[in-house]
């Protein structure tokens, strides 16, 4: 299992409003690296988003804007690299929105959503939110909606699923981006 788990937090409902991002790198079934950065969005914060993730406008005042962060992480989005997220539709929308906003080229990669894998492999769970799946699988999630904690939990979910169900049922849910 080689993949990158990603999670974004946003300042508001706009897809280009990323205010933090985290990546967790997995090689040969082991977490081998992590990346985290606050991001200074070029948009206002909405109170509800602040309530969810706790990132305030003053926290990102000196943070880099997305293009600088992208220079640090774009090598992880190589052709056919597997990028994993819990609710991947959201995170991939934020990535695409930030890239579009700044006129940056969209990468081509493979995407896998651990909400979808969890629905398929654990159909009887009460729901498939990140905190629920982690609780059911005994995966530590200390600070839900912290991008690094969430991406680490996402990586652990996929590693658990691969170890217990094999990679074949997971491969069927991989999508090109």
pTM over 0.75: yes
Q: Greatest CA separation found in the chain?
A: 45
User: 126: which DSSP letter?
Assistant: S
- Packed helices 88-101 and 66-73: angle between N→C axes, nearest 10 degrees: 120
pLDDT at 79: 80
Residues 131 and 76: their CA atoms lie apart, in Å, by 26
Whether the CB-CB separation of 14 and 158 falls below 8 Å is answered with no
In total, how many domains does the chain have? 1
Tens digit of each residue's pLDDT, the chain (177 residues): 899 999 999 999 999 999 999 999 999 999 999 999 999 999 999 999 999 999 999 999 999 999 999 999 999 998 889 999 999 999 999 999 999 999 999 999 999 999 999 999 999 999 999 999 999 999 999 999 999 999 999 999 999 999 999 999 999 999 998
Neighbours of 9 (CB within 10 A): 23
Residue 113 structural domain: 3-176
- Residue 74 is part of a domain; what is its CATH number? 3.30.420.10
Instruction: Name the 3-class secondary structure at 32.
Output: strand
CB contact at 8 A, 23 and 73: yes
The pLDDT score that the predictor gives to residue 129 is 97
């Amino acid at each position: 299992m080689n993949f990158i788990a990603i999670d974004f937090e946003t300042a508001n409902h706009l897809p280009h409003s990323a205010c933090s991002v985290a990546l967790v790198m997995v090689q040969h079934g082991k977490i081998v690296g992590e990346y985290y950065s606050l991001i200074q969005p070029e948009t206002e914060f909405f109170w509800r988003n602040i309530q969810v993730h706790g990132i305030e406008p003053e926290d990102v005042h000196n943070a880099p804007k997305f293009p600088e962060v992208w220079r640090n992480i774009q090598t992880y989005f190589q052709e056919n690299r597997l990028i994993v997220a819990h609710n991947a539709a959201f995170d991939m929308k934020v990535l695409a929105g930030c890239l579009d906003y700044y006129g940056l080229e969209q990468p081509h990669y493979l995407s896998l959503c651990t909400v979808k894998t969890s629905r398929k492999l654990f159909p009887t769970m009460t729901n498939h939110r990140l905190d629920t799946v982690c609780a059911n699988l005994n995966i530590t999630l200390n600070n839900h909606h912290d991008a690094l904690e969430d991406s680490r939990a996402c990586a652990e979910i996929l590693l658990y699923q691969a170890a217990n169900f094999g990679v074949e049922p997971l491969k069927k849910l991989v999508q090109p981006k």
